[in-house]
Structure 1
């Protein structure tokens, strides 16, 4: 039977990673892979995570399953982190998942189960795995305008016009903060207009929030998600702990299904648990346990928040340094958008040909659509990148 299998296209980022490894130039810069790196090029374990792991090692006396939905304490802690007091707790059904990707996948499975004909409106561009999973599940994806190539900001008029084409029962997929791959984000006034459009059309929002705390702060980055969740009849939220807790390999995420009809919560909870059972059964617990311990311990939480703020400040400083250096070298303010973008990523607006030229001539490795990971830079490599951008004529 296996002779019928077909070779799948290689993952572009994995190919890029291998090309970077094979490049002998000492001045090469990796801006492709989507993980946070400190100034030394490492992805460190956060202090609070280390402390929680030590406590867990001493206290944990069993590795038995926690339940199909994961530990309820993890759900409670994450719902408080993401939603605050924006919605009543009894309006939220939730399940732990293997990372934010697992939450996205389970959300799409839920949509397909509830309404097989639903279309999912997706920003152009978006995280490639959104489209890959939708295609694999045989679900219809409809793109809406998002990134303005001229300004490197949001084409909000185009976005709003496109999502207004959604109908009741369709789903509009939104990035809660730190848009991946562009770094361009809506302000709260624009988010309110999106909410009004969702209410007008009857479409259901699905929010993917993978970078809370990487943009403007924990509460600031959650503000849009809280606004949407508190304003619409139904909402799905896929949350990831990979970035803001630095526990990538622990695969820790949460899917939330929110409804103003609180009497439906049991049905929603049972359905989410059923989907977990069909997919991977019991979700992983180690990362979820650490997150729960950190969020429920005042000292651990304070240390985690302080280190997360250091991470956020570091990326913001690199953005501002790069924008200043480009202004100095080019004599133009046209790269000022880099300081306005938020999160790990920015889309430079370079053509694929210019991206290849920067890689071949200067050893600058970024994804073909010119998405670059700002956290792949440090104070010494910013001038190298700026020089490459200007000399390539981006």
Structure 2
């Protein structure tokens, strides 16, 4: 039977990681993989997470299943982190998921159950796994303009014109903050215009928020998500704990279904629990429990927030340094957008052949669409990257 299977295309980012590992050159620089790294190139365990893990090891008494939705305390803590007081808790159904990816997949599954013919409007570009999952599920994708290749900012007029084509029963997928892969983000005036358009067209927003705290701050990065959830009839939110808690391998995420009609909560919660049962029954708990401990213990939370600020400011500093080095090396201010972008990524807007030259001639690895991971840099490698970018003619 299995001989009928067809070989699937390799994930481009995973393939790039393998190529990097096999590169024998000293001084090679990995700016492709979407994982935070400190100045020494390590992905550290955050102090508060380490302390919570030690407490858990000493006090945990069972490895029995949690409920289908996961530990309710985790949902409460994450809903408070993402939504604050923007929406009454009674209006939010939620389930724990294996990472933000699991939340995204479950969200699409919920949409398909509600409307099998739904069109999913997706930014061009977006996180490649959005497209891969939707293709695998056989759902209809409609790209909307987002990244302006000339300004390296948001093509807001194009975005609004394309989103005006969405209608009731359709989904508009947006990034809550720190857009992946571009790093270009909307301001709050633009987000309000998006909300007004959603209410006009009747389309339902789905927010993927994977980098809260990596851009302008925890509350600032959640502002758009809170505005959307409090302003439209229904919202789907997929939240990840991988980056801001540094627990990538623990696969910790939360899927939320928000309805302004609190009477819908029971149906929404039951649907989400049903989907968990069909896909993996009970969600993983270890990472979720650590997050809960950090968010509900004053001392751990304060230490976590302090370290998260260190991470955020480190990336902002690297952005400013790279923009300055590029200005010096090129004699031009055309790279100023790097300092304006937010989150782990910036998209340079370079052609594939120039990205290839960076890899072949300088052992610098970027994703093929010219996305670079700012967190993969340090003070020593920033000048090397700047010189290489100018030499290859980006």
| TM-score normalised by the chain length of structure 2 | 1.00
Task: Tell me the residue number matched to 1:289.
Answer: 289
CA RMSD of aligned residues (A): 0.5
User: Residue 144 of structure 1 aligns to a residue in which SS?
Assistant: strand
Out of 63-72 and 23-32, give the one that drifted further.
23-32
User: Are 1:70 and 2:57 matched, yes or no?
Assistant: no
Q: CA deviation at 1:185?
A: 0.2
Cα deviations by residue, 1:248-289 (Å, 9 ceiling, x for unpaired):
000000000000110110010001000000000000000000
Task: Tell me the residue number matched to 1:214.
Answer: 214
Partners of 1:271 and 1:12 in 2: CA distance:
34
Cα deviations by residue, 1:273-319 (Å, 9 ceiling, x for unpaired):
00000000000000000000000000000000000000000000000
Cα deviations by residue, 1:73-107 (Å, 9 ceiling, x for unpaired):
00000000000000000000000000000000000
Task: Tell me the residue number matched to 1:18.
Answer: 18
Task: Tell me the residue number matched to 1:377.
Answer: 377
Task: Tell me the residue number matched to 1:256.
Answer: 256
Q: How does 1:339-350 map to 2 (within 5 A)?
A: 339-350=339-350
Task: Tell me the residue number matched to 1:123.
Answer: 123
Partners of 1:186 and 1:177 in 2: CA distance:
8
| TM-score normalised by the chain length of structure 1 | 1.00
Q: CA deviation at 1:25?
A: 1.8
Q: How does 1:306-345 map to 2 (within 5 A)?
A: 306-345=306-345
Cα deviations by residue, 1:127-179 (Å, 9 ceiling, x for unpaired):
01101111111100000000000000000000011001001110000000000
**Unmatched 5+ stretches in structure 1:** none
Partners of 1:96 and 1:9 in 2: CA distance:
30
Partners of 1:15 and 1:280 in 2: CA distance:
27
Q: CA deviation at 1:27?
A: 1.9
Task: Tell me the residue number matched to 1:167.
Answer: 167
Task: Tell me the residue number matched to 1:38.
Answer: 38
User: Residue 44 of structure 1 aligns to a residue in which SS?
Assistant: coil
User: Residue 200 of structure 2 aligns to a residue in which SS?
Assistant: helix
Task: Tell me the residue number matched to 1:204.
Answer: 204
Partners of 2:345 and 2:135 in 1: CA distance:
25
Partners of 1:210 and 1:86 in 2: CA distance:
19
Task: Tell me the residue number matched to 1:108.
Answer: 108
Partners of 1:372 and 1:315 in 2: CA distance:
12
Runs of 4+ with deviation above 3 angstroms: none
Partners of 1:278 and 1:12 in 2: CA distance:
29
User: Are 1:98 and 2:78 matched, yes or no?
Assistant: no
Task: Tell me the residue number matched to 1:147.
Answer: 147
Cα deviations by residue, 1:301-341 (Å, 9 ceiling, x for unpaired):
00000000000000000000000000011111000000000
Partners of 1:94 and 1:153 in 2: CA distance:
33
Partners of 1:42 and 1:137 in 2: CA distance:
35
Partners of 2:328 and 2:85 in 1: CA distance:
45
User: Residue 300 of structure 2 aligns to a residue in which SS?
Assistant: helix
Task: Tell me the residue number matched to 2:225.
Answer: 225
Task: Tell me the residue number matched to 1:182.
Answer: 182
Q: CA deviation at 1:225?
A: 0.2
Task: Tell me the residue number matched to 1:195.
Answer: 195
Q: CA deviation at 1:17?
A: 1.1
Q: CA deviation at 1:47?
A: 0.2
User: Are 1:362 and 2:335 matched, yes or no?
Assistant: no
Q: CA deviation at 1:196?
A: 0.5
Task: Tell me the residue number matched to 1:272.
Answer: 272
